[in-house]
Amino acid sequence: MRARAQRQAGRDKATGVWSRSRASMSVPQPRRRARTPGSSRGGAALALALAAGPLMREVPPGNVPSVVQSNAPLAMTGEGLQVDVSRPTALVFNLPGAQELDLEYEASGILMLTWATAYPASGSLPDHRAPPYRYRRLAPGRGRARIDLRETAKWSPSGVPYLLLEGSGRFTLTRLAFLSAPPDAASAREALDRSLFWAPYSFDYTTINVLDPPYWSASRGSFLFDRLGVTFLLLAGLFALGYAALRRRYRPGWALAAAALVAAAAGDAVFLVKLIPPLALKVEPDPEVRIRENYAFAPKLGALAALARATVPAGDRVGVSVRGHGADWFAAEVLCFNLAPRRCVTLVPGKPELTGLSGVDRLRPDELDAVVSYDSEDPLPTGFRRVAQVSPDAFVARRP
Amino acid sequence: MSLLLTVAVLCASGLALLRLLRLATGRWTVDAPLSWFAGSGYYAFAAFALRFLGRLPYTAATALAIVGLPVAGLVVARGLGRGAGVATAGSAPPARWRPRPAWVFGPIALYVAAVVLMVVLHGANTPTQTDDGLRVRAFAPILAYRDAWSPEARAVATMAGPVPTFVPSLGWRLTGRVDHFDVNGTILVGLAALLALAIGLAAERGRPERGWAGAFAVLSLPLFVYHCTSTYSDATLAIYVGAAFLFFLEYGFSREASDAGRALVLLVCAAMVKREGELVAGAVGLVLVAQLAWEGRRERYRRLLPAALLCAPYLLVLAARIASVGLAGAFPFLRLAAERGAGGPAAPGPVPAAANQALPAFVWSLFSSGSAGILFWVLFASAILESRALARRRLAWPFAAVALLLAQAAVTSVWLIPEFTLNQTTVHRQLLPLSVAAALWVAALLSEAAVEPPVPVARTAGRVPGGKRRAKR
């Protein structure tokens, strides 16, 4: 746990800009609950389901609205529980003790689902980007997601599932089932350790500094490579003694090689199991498609970057307008980088001189030919009009 | 397309340069990957020096002139009857391509192939990410393509180093079209070249086990594998240092001056990656030059002259850097060390820290974090248990280089910039060149140690290893 704590501290305090950006990405508290007939029966059904044991339990469709709270309006339709996503939309499931969720859904537009563990009693929502950052892009159409909540930060049987939908589109939850944590603490701890041991790496924009340290036992705070290192030493000693007994010669080099091979193979096997799920292994020759599809944790941003590259002429001078009056550095950098070699700056209202990546590009607002806007609260500068859009809040504008 | 053009042009230029310097081996399995390193290093060096020292604009014509110069030089040299410029390792055993035993190296080869395939696919698919609000690493080659050098742009290029700045931009310069994925591509080509060099060089020298073990060890470094799919230059630096280290190790086995020359050329290339490249490459180069001096003392240090001539062009890089960002900006680590030594603040880090707090964090990053797998466990155990055999196996000097890199990393992480060790951020990236060099060293040591040594004749007379069955024969 120490590593995670250290890493978290680093991320939270890395730079002032980082903190600003994270603040700007926070989501409001859940406040609404869908009003549907049958809500009052939900508590009893839920209690029954929770008491039933370790099997996956389905929440009856009529009870789903009583289980889910959100900061956005929810509507119960014939298909299921529906929510329109235009801003980050939190879904908190009142399922204490759930360790897995099984969702069937229908999605439209560009949506990304993030999951974490919430503790409503604490009065705050989880930092959904805290490592390990768990997310997946929801392809348009019907789909199913089996979510292991134990892989999230700070999961415990007293937490509740927290999902966050980002992007732009519509999400309909057509079926909800969950698996409760084992009732006894030892089994729950064992299940947590097993889940975290095999949990895939979660790539985000700070993974470049360190991969999630693999645990041997997360509940005891012991790390896999400590165990493998000690195993390697023991094996080397054992092999050396065995070789000496059989051949009557002392060959530490042979024993070290054999032990290193065994330990490295074990470490590599775990590494591959954790590495493969988040990799993008599809062969895609077109770089524009790669930009559009492969910003794994920011699909709407990738789509906007690709759209802007196709829409903004090569010689244009571009301003990017992002959330927090220019504070969302990730979006600003992704857009300006992908638009390069066009000159590109971040729009900050009221600033006479705007700057771009590393302060290299410097432009006045009146020098801009195009504006690329991503989740921005700021109005378009005078004289610009939309020419293309990914969604109402992600678009390209140019001077007529 | 532009990446393929870059690779083809730089390999041709690099091969011509190797032949001019008489550093080509005459074996395409070695020369092909080596030419990528030599060509890209040479191109970055020339483009950087011409732009910032010679004040020449960076155009397609300039780029073509740079890559064409070695080829033209080779043609002229051949016209003058100066030969092909191949230096082979005369004392090496004959080439052998199949490592033994197959049941060990078969799965290793499968692992190497699978990981390389995954890294190449994911790396080629993944658009550039950013990690902080300060800069995007892959922006430097785009600045080179623009060739508009404001002070801010010069600072970015100096921070990235000539190789990451100019190499990806070559194809764009020649085709007039920017493909952002070429930045990923050049790193992936570097990784493939490193692995091909490790396997090809060892096989050509009759020790394929060493090559495959080296490739396996390098690909058992999780953070390095991940970095190769990014556009960060830490992987590039580690790859160049690794390529140089292969020839450093090989020099120990062959004692051929040409192997030491190749290692020095690659170290000069490594010094042109990132700001810290010259510190890392300098540490390895220092030990290699010390070995050359020690072994050449009876020849009145004549071996050092070619080494000095191979390293001398780096002075032009230093001069170009000073011309670009001034003396104070050219050596940030010296300034930082001076400030730290005078009791001043270190880097603008987020966590105030003392060295005694950073040391456990540094040790944790080596052994427990998993960034380098179990490498450092194996490294320390091997160095201790095989210490008496290091000189016999001709691995003592490379081990000194690994030890110096480790000491350098420890000083930087614990004393110079402890803040980023405590929050577990840059310390892992900083260890990548050390990890790759150490992995190759461990692989060389253990693959040599695992081979059954020839039995001394004097001992066989009385007692034969292997038991009675063999003795009866």
- Helix (H) / strand (E) containing A165: strand A160-180
Q: Are strands A343-346 and A354-355 parallel, antiparallel or unpaired?
A: unpaired
The answer to whether A272 contacts B133, with C-beta atoms less than 8 Å apart, is: no
Restricting to B residues 101-120, those with a Cβ less than 8 Å away from any Cβ of A are 104, 107, 111, 114-115, 118
Measured between beta carbons, which residues in chain A are less than 8 angstroms from residue B386? 252-253, 256
* Weakest mean pLDDT among A153-157, B198-202, B351-355, B438-442: B351-355
Same-domain check for residues A171 and A29: yes
A280 touches A292 (CB < 8 A): no
Residues A90 and A159 reside in one and the same domain? yes
Look at B132 and A18 and tell me if their CB atoms are within 8 Å.
yes
Type of residue at A201:
Y
- Residue A119 placed within a domain: yes
A43-57, B21-35, B197-211, B413-427: segment of lowest average pLDDT = A43-57
Backbone angles phi, psi at A104, to 5 degrees: -115, 140
Contact B46, B73 (CB under 8 A): no
pLDDT tens for residues B64-76? 999 999 999 999 9
Residues 351-390 of B with CB under 8 A from A: 351, 361, 364-365, 367-371, 373-374, 377-378, 381-382, 385-386, 389
Q: What is d(CA A264, CA A270) in angstroms, rounded to the nearest whole number?
A: 10
Are residues B377 and A233, on separate chains, in Cβ contact within 8 Å?
A: yes
Q: Say what the pLDDT of residue A35 is.
A: 41
Q: What is the mean pLDDT of residues A294-306?
A: 94
Q: Are residues A242 and A329 in the same domain?
A: no
Nearest chain B CA: its distance from A341 CA (Å): 6
Same domain (yes/no): A29, A94 = yes
Statement: residue B424 has pLDDT above 70: yes
Give me the residue from B104, B153, B424 closest to A360, CB to CB: B153
Tell me the pLDDT band of B337, cut-offs 50, 70 and 90. Answer: confident
Per DSSP, B273 falls in state S
Order of strands, sheet of A343-346, starting from the edge strand that comes earlier in the sequence: A343-346, A317-322, A370-374, A394-398, A385-391
Q: Backbone phi, then psi, for B85, in 5-degree steps?
A: 75, 40
Report pLDDT digits (tens) over A227-264: 999 999 999 999 999 999 998 888 889 999 999 999 99
Q: Is A168 helix (H, G, I), strand (E, B) or coil?
A: strand
Give tens-digit pLDDT for B228-283.
999 999 999 999 999 999 999 999 999 898 999 999 999 999 999 998 899 999 99
Q: Helix or strand or coil: residue B380?
A: helix
Residues 6 or more apart whose CB falls under 8 angstroms from that of B310 comprise: B21, B261, B264, B265, B268
A196 is a domain residue:
no
Contacts of A323 in chain B (CB under 8 A): none
Pairing mode, strands A56-58 and A81-85: unpaired
**What are the C-alpha distances in Å from B447 to residues A225, A255, B191?**
23, 11, 22
Closest by CA to B45, choosing from B305, B267, B328, is: B267
Contacts of residue B449 in chain A, CB cutoff 8 Å?
A: 251-254, 256-257
Contact list in B for residue A287 (CB cut-off 8 A) is 179-181
Kindly state the average pLDDT of the residues A25-46: 43
Residues A48 and A145 in one domain: yes
My answer on whether A61 and A135 are in the same domain is: yes
Contacts for A390 with CB less than 8 Å, ≥ 6 apart: A110, A168, A300, A303, A304, A307
SS3 of A273-314: the string is HHHCCCCCCCCCCCHHHHHHHCCCCCHHHHHHHHHHHHHCCC
Question: d(Cα B261, Cα B89) in Å, to the nearest integer?
Answer: 12
Question: Each residue of B345-388: pLDDT tens digit?
Answer: 555 544 455 557 889 999 999 999 999 999 999 999 999 999 88
Tell which of A6, A7, A208 to mutate to test the B interface (max B CBs under 10 Å). A208
Mean pLDDT taken over chain B: 89
Q: Tell me the pLDDT band of B456, cut-offs 50, 70 and 90.
A: low
DSSP B350: S
Supply the pLDDT for residue B88.
62
* A111-125, A357-371, B29-43: segment of lowest average pLDDT: A111-125
| Nearest-Cα residue of chain A relative to residue B468 | A247
pLDDT of residue B306: 83
| CA closest to B452 among chain A residues | A254
Take residue B384 and report the two structure tokens written for it: 């201790």
B175, two tokens:
């085709």
Please give the residue range of the domain that contains residue A375: 287-398
Per-residue pLDDT tens digits for B171-209: 999 999 999 999 999 999 999 999 999 999 999 999 999
Q: Which of A2, A233, A302 minimises the CB distance to B381? A: A233
Residue A10 forms part of a structural domain? no
- Among A174, A302, A166, smallest CA distance to B125 is for A302
Q: Which residue of B has its CA nearest to A343?
A: B146
What distance in Å separates the CA atoms of residue A229 and residue A211, rounded to the nearest whole number? Answer: 18
CB atoms under 10 Å from CB of A310, counted, come to 11
Q: Report pLDDT for B90.
A: 58
Mean pLDDT on A356-377: 95
The Cα A90–Cα A98 span in angstroms is: 17
Q: What tokens appear for A384 in the block?
A: 């610009």
DSSP state of B54: S
CA distance A360 to chain B (A): 5
What is the per-residue pLDDT across A199-227, written as a single tens digit (0 to 9) for each? 999 998 888 888 989 999 999 999 999 99
Minimal CA separation from B17 to chain A, in Å: 32
Range B279-283 contact pairs with CB under 8 angstroms and sequence separation of 24 or more: B279/B333, B279/B408, B280/B237, B280/B241, B280/B405, B280/B408, B280/B433, B280/B434, B281/B240, B281/B241, B281/B244, B283/B401, B283/B404, B283/B405, B283/B408
In this prediction, residue B171 carries a pLDDT of: 97
Rounded to the nearest 5 degrees, what angle is found at the Cα of B243, between the Cα atoms of B237 and B246?
A: 140
B131-181 tens-digit pLDDT = 777 788 999 999 999 999 999 999 999 999 999 999 999 999 999 999 999
* A158-182 b/e (C-beta count within 10 Å ≥ 16 → b): ebbbbbbbbbbbbbbbbebbbbbbb
The reply to whether A243 and A346 lie within a common domain is no
* pTM as predicted: 0.89
Is A17 at the interface with chain B, CB within 8 A?
Answer: yes
Closest CA to B220 of B98, B101, B119, B100: B119
If we measure between CA atoms, which residue out of B433, B37, B444 comes closest to residue B217? B444
- Whether the per-residue pLDDT at B100 is higher than 50: the answer is yes
Contact B216, B110 (CB under 8 A): no
Chain B from 165 to 194: CB within 8 A of any A CB: 178-181
Token match 């470049």: residue?
Answer: A208
How many domains are there within chain A? 3
Helix (H) or strand (E) holding A390: strand A385-391
The secondary structure element, H or E, covering residue B42 is helix B28-52
Residue A136 has pLDDT above 70, yes or no: yes
pLDDT tens digits, A68-104: 999 999 999 999 999 999 889 999 999 998 999 999 9
3-class DSSP assignment, residue B11:
helix
Average pLDDT over residues B426-443: 95
Amino acid at position A9, single letter: A
A15/B133 Cβ within 8 A: yes
Distance CA B291, CA B418 (A): 32
Residue A113 counted as domain residue: yes
In this structure, the answer to whether residues A271 and A298 fall within a common structural domain is: no
Same domain, A173 and A305: no
Strand pairing report for A317-322 and A343-346:
parallel
* A115 lies in the same domain as A225: no
Q: Has residue A141 got a pLDDT over 90?
A: yes
With a pLDDT cut of 70, the percent of chain B lying above it is 90
Radius of gyration of chain B (CA): 23
Per-residue pLDDT of A265-297, as tens digits, reads 999 999 999 999 999 999 999 999 999 999 999
Higher-pLDDT residue of A28, A95:
A95
Asked if A46 and A161 sit in the same domain, the reply is: yes
Distance CA(B109)–CA(A214), nearest Å, equals 25
A29 and A157 fall within a common domain: yes
Residue A37: per-residue pLDDT: 39
For residue A217, the one-letter residue type is S
- The token pair that represents A69 in the structure block: 């709270």
Residue A11 belongs to a domain: no
